[in-house]
Structure 1
Amino acid sequence: MSLFERLKAAAADDWNGYVDHAFVRGLGDGTLPQAAFRRYLVQDYLFLIQFARAHALAAYKARSLADMRIANAGLAAIVDVEMQLHLRLCERWGLSAADVEAGAEHPATVAYTRWVLDIGMAGDLLELQVALTPCTLGYAEIGRRLAPRGVDAIDAAHPYREWIGEYAGDAFQQLGRDTQAWLDDLGRRHGGDQRFDALLAIFAKAARLEADFWQMGLDAGGA
């Protein structure tokens, strides 16, 4: 198995608690309370600002031009695609860009993002990518789960259709494949097998923090 597949299998309970969270199930069937989604949108925008910084840190940690280019592509995907999606969605839900950018980070947002940045500052590029990967690959998996027959099969009236479509779409799915390939390549080059237990601890905690982030949104909906 690839490094990602091994990490996912070894942290199965934490991973499933993340990708099959009640928030995710509510997104899928459209029953997620609107208040939960609104809080999530604001916090995920603030979250992505910090994750953009983490991808910039990955470029700094890179020792080759090829790795720098991959880190830069991840940064661009956040800044030019995901953050713009969030602003579009927020506007449809009555939240202006100014409203979102003026929002205060929730403790769950701070806990996750600053932990990732700390991993990146203290460790090497492989450790940072293990901390970042559950976000990208988890959302890619969630996109496939929520739109197994493609976004066109989802009712046009579904309240979260656009969000699902972004992560189920070809562009994000390709980003997920590229992210997994890079993680596996870094693992081969930086002794991933010999460091597996330490990497697993990082991966499992990232999955738990992702689940906490979903719960933060769900709590706003009174669930």
Structure 2
Amino acid sequence: MPFSEDLRAANAETWDAAVGHRFVDELWAGTVDDAVLARYLTQDLQFLDGFVALLGAAVATADLPAPRMVLARQLGLVAGDENDFFDRALDRLGVTGSARRSPALLPPTRGFRELMDGARLAGDYGVVLSVLLVAEWLYADWAARDAPTPPDRMHAEWIDLHRGPAFTAWVATLRAETDRVGDEVGPGGRARMAEAFERAVALEAAFFDAAYG
């Protein structure tokens, strides 16, 4: 089994709890409460700068030109469409000023920021990939649900940002890189990647929980 599949299988219970979370169910049904969505998106926005920095670290530490170019292109996308979505969605939800820019961080938000920062500062390409992979693959998984698109455009757009051919190809690149690097780094490197992956999955599940206060 590819290394990325091993990682997900080792965390299947927590992964499935996140992908099948109440928040995801309500988002797809179009019934998620505005206060819950505002809390979720406000906290999620606090990842954006750290995520961009983590992608930058992946560009800097990648050991082959081809994946480096894919990672670099993704940087531009994250700084474009997704950032624009946050502005429009939080405007509609009435989240402005410091409540948007610098809210009190919930524990999972703080934990994931620390995980991203630690991976970036360590300069370990495999660990950086593991954190990126969870952040993108888990979302691609719940966004691939076979269900009608919710009627609310804001709900539907958040789903659409995490599915489709381009996003699927991006996740496939992360998986392929994780598999390749996992095969090359040896037991110690794989252990570090597995530890980062496990922590990231747990924080993603906790982040959904935290949206409900």
TM-score, normalised to structure 2's length? 0.86
Report the more deviating stretch, 129-138 or 95-104. Answer: 95-104
Q: Is the 8 A contact 2:108 2:204 kept in 1?
A: no
2:205 maps to what in 1? 211
Name the CA distance, whole Å, in 2 between partners of 1:121 and 1:158. Answer: 38
2:42 maps to what in 1? 42
Pairs within 5 Å for 1:46-57: 46-57=46-57
Pairs within 5 Å for 1:1-223: 1-96=1-96, 100-122=100-122, 124-145=124-145, 148=146, 153-157=148-152, 160-191=155-186, 195-219=189-213
Q: Give the deviation of 1:31 after TM superposition.
A: 2.8
Name the CA distance, whole Å, in 2 between partners of 1:175 and 1:5. Answer: 16
Name the CA distance, whole Å, in 2 between partners of 1:56 and 1:64. Answer: 15
Cα RMSD between the aligned structures?
Answer: 2.4
Q: Give the deviation of 1:210 after TM superposition.
A: 0.7
Q: Give the deviation of 1:122 after TM superposition.
A: 2.5
Q: Give the deviation of 1:16 after TM superposition.
A: 1.4
TM-score, normalised to structure 1's length? 0.83
Cα deviations across residues 73-108 of structure 1 (Å, max 9, x unaligned)? 332232122222222222232335876234443332
Closer/same/farther in 2, CA of residues 63 and 92 from structure 1, 3 Å limit: same
Q: Is the 8 A contact 2:55 2:71 kept in 1?
A: yes
Q: Is the 8 A contact 1:30 1:158 kept in 2?
A: no
Cα deviations across residues 139-162 of structure 1 (Å, max 9, x unaligned)? 1111102xx26xxx4253476222
Q: Give the deviation of 1:138 after TM superposition.
A: 0.6
